[in-house]
Amino acid sequence: MQYRKLGKTGLMVSEIGFGGEWLERHDEADSVELLRYAGEKGINIVDCWMPDPKSRDIIGKAMAGNRENWIVQGHIGSTYQNGQYVRTRDIKYVAPAFEDILKRMQTDYIDLGMIHYIDAQEDWDICMNTDYIKYVHDLHNKGVIRHIGLSTHNPRIAKMAVETGFIEMILFSVNPAFDMKPATENLDSMFEDYDAALSGIDSERAELYRMCEEKEVGITVMKGFLGGRLFDAKTSPFGTAFTPLQCIHYALTRPGVCSILCGYDTKEQVDAAVSYETADDNEKDYASVIASAPLHSYTGQCTYCGHCKPCPMNIDIAMINKFYDLAVQQPEVPESVKSHYKSLGTTALACVGCKSCEKRCPFGVQIADRMAQTAKLFGC
């Protein structure tokens, strides 16, 4: 495993990290073993934006007796209310939720205290001018969080974070589909070097990457696989498929990027990601894929991130969207997918069309319409 310095934090993070988003969907013992296995393979950074007790317990148990070898991204403002994820800046919820991270992870500090998920200017203003940011600084001054980070999908917000001077690293969504402009660029020379590669992406994202490298603000990567859509030509915005290694390499070749946080269900998936370190140049080559593909910008498709929660009807929107996407890719709805969909209990039919979820979606998905389409497709 190769390690990179995470900007001015000075922390050495594994190029391949662990995104813990799916831990709670497995048996606790299996997830604990999976995370420990990742550690044995050299992975040393784990992100926990998830507020649910099970995910946090799993990470704590996996790190027990080995805490000093792990670098934890713990999010401030991701809370668990009435059994659902709620993003909030209200200290009466924020503080207990953060204290819960410490308790469940069996630690007295978090390496990277993340200002959780800011995409909108209004949210930025609230975070930076209320007791929320005072709480973050207080945690930092006490050493409870060793470094201050921020998570966002919006390059404008990310650039503002870099300019603060006190935000030392950013968790940012990086993949070819998010980065690239529509097909108007000279793809033949796009990836010859950093400058040429960046000339083909959105100018604000290119500027962000340069700022991060120049000001030593490290980037850790989320959404590196676009929710798995880049692996299938039918769902890839490029009309052609990428491999996991190509996506990993794309992320790690952006200026400022230090680690890509991959999601895992099995040890085999950990092995596949870690194999990046011994892969040859041909296995990593994403440039030829992009150069030969019809280039499209990306918007309006669900990546199953879960930020659409909370739902007033307690709908698991991300899972319903996943089952819908699986179903429509087949001539007929597979019985297995239909069974898994129905086992959710609360189906898309429960959607009341309030569209509060759409305001929280980072990618402009028309969720209410998708719920209606899903209810019609599955008949419930």
Same domain assignment for residues 172 and 109: yes
274, 2 in Cβ contact below 8 A? Answer: no
C-alpha closest to that of 63 among 11, 18, 26: 18
Over residues 161-206, the pLDDT tens digits come to 999 999 999 999 998 888 864 222 222 332 233 233 323 467 788 8
Same domain assignment for residues 117 and 265: yes
Question: What total of structural domains would you count in the chain?
Answer: 2
Same domain assignment for residues 374 and 270: no
Which residues does residue 112 pair with via DSSP β-bridges, in sequence order? 73, 147
Domain encompassing residue 170: 3-291
**Spatial separation of the C-alpha atoms in residues 229 and 28, rounded to whole Å:** 28
**Spatial separation of the C-alpha atoms in residues 319 and 321, rounded to whole Å:** 5
Same domain assignment for residues 86 and 215: yes
> Model confidence at 338, in pLDDT bands (50, 70, 90)?
confident
In the predicted model, is pLDDT for residue 355 greater than 90?
yes
Distance of CA 189 to the CA centre of its chain: 29
Predicted local confidence at residue 184, as pLDDT: 24
C-alpha closest to that of 107 among 141, 134, 71: 71
C-alpha closest to that of 182 among 237, 251, 119: 237
Residue 79 within a domain: yes
Among 253, 276, 291, which residue terminates a domain? 291
Residue 104 within a domain: yes
Residue 271 within a domain: yes
Q: Is 146 helix (H, G, I), strand (E, B) or coil?
A: strand
Same domain assignment for residues 238 and 160: yes
Residue 159 within a domain: yes
What does pTM read for this prediction?
0.79
Predicted local confidence at residue 214, as pLDDT: 81
Place of tokens 């990046």: 276
Same domain assignment for residues 325 and 247: no
371, 355 in Cβ contact below 8 A? Answer: no
Same domain assignment for residues 266 and 331: no
Residue 335 within a domain: yes
C-alpha closest to that of 167 among 145, 186, 184, 189: 145
Same domain assignment for residues 273 and 202: yes
Among 257, 291, 325, which residue terminates a domain? 291
Over residues 10-55, the pLDDT tens digits come to 999 999 999 988 888 889 999 999 999 999 999 999 999 999 999 9
Q: Where are the beta strands (DSSP E) in 159-215?
A: 169-173
Predicted local confidence at residue 172, as pLDDT: 95
Query: What whole-number percentage of the chain has pLDDT above 70?
Result: 91
380: amino acid identity, one letter: C
Same domain assignment for residues 136 and 225: yes
C-alpha closest to that of 261 among 79, 112, 133: 112
Residue 300 within a domain: no
Predicted local confidence at residue 164, as pLDDT: 96
Over residues 279-330, the pLDDT tens digits come to 998 898 887 777 676 644 446 767 677 788 899 999 999 889 878 887 886 6
Mean pLDDT of the chain: 87
Predicted local confidence at residue 294, as pLDDT: 61
**Spatial separation of the C-alpha atoms in residues 170 and 157, rounded to whole Å:** 10
Residue 35 within a domain: yes
In eight-state DSSP terms, residue 13 is E
Same domain assignment for residues 45 and 87: yes
Return the C-alpha torsion angle 125, 137, 159, 201, nearest 10: -110
**Spatial separation of the C-alpha atoms in residues 160 and 108, rounded to whole Å:** 30
Predicted local confidence at residue 329, as pLDDT: 67
Same domain assignment for residues 186 and 40: yes
Residue 301 within a domain: no
CATH code where residue 103 lies: 3.20.20.100
Same domain assignment for residues 160 and 276: yes
